Structure 1
Amino acid sequence: MQFHIENMTCGACVRRVTAAVHSIDPAAQVTADVGEHRVQVQSAGTQEQLMAVLDEAGYPARPVG
């Protein structure tokens, strides 16, 4: 799943986004592109679960693609 996260602007943001995803799926793979404000997630979690946990962490995400 790929998401656009407008306010993901630095390495610390990427760490927080990754931690949020790992809070629901510790085995998830997260790849971030800060310049494009995009994150690719391979996870057992659903799109809705991931969007909710990212929103709770302060990083509202919208699906891409």
Structure 2
Amino acid sequence: MVVFRIAGMSCGGCARRVTAALRGAEPGAEVQVDLQRREVTVTGAADADRLARALRDAGYPGERLPD
């Protein structure tokens, strides 16, 4: 499980773009978005660095939170 805080994620459209970027980087991952906390949790065989790059490339750089 990897958790990111994404300061620039503020609406449903942002959540959809973030989810698409993460699933593009890790197709089998389960992605859960918490807009109120501006956090996204990725569960599955996910490489945190690859996910972080996908978020950056999509325009939503995230801060990885400790496990």
TM-score computed with the length of structure 1 as normaliser: 0.92
Deviation at 1:27, TM superposition (A): 1.3
Q: What are the residue-to-residue correspondences of 1:39-54 with 2, within 5 Å?
A: 39-54=40-55
Matched-pair identity in %: 38
Q: Which runs of 5+ in 2 are unaligned?
A: none
Residue 60 of structure 1: aligned partner: 61
Tell me the secondary structure at the aligned position of residue 51 of structure 2.
helix
Instruction: Provide, for residues 1-53 of structure 1, a one-character-per-residue CA deviation record: whole Å limited to 9, x for no partner.
Output: 11100000011111000100111221110101111110000132311100001
Contact 2:10 2:38 in 1 (8 A): yes
- The yes-or-no answer on 1:2 pairing with 2:3 is yes
RMSD: 0.9
Q: Which runs of 5+ in 1 are unaligned?
A: none
What amino acid maps onto 2:61 in structure 1?
P
Cα distance in 1 between the residues matched to 2:24 and 2:38: 21
Where do 4+ consecutive residues of structure 1 move more than 2 Å? none
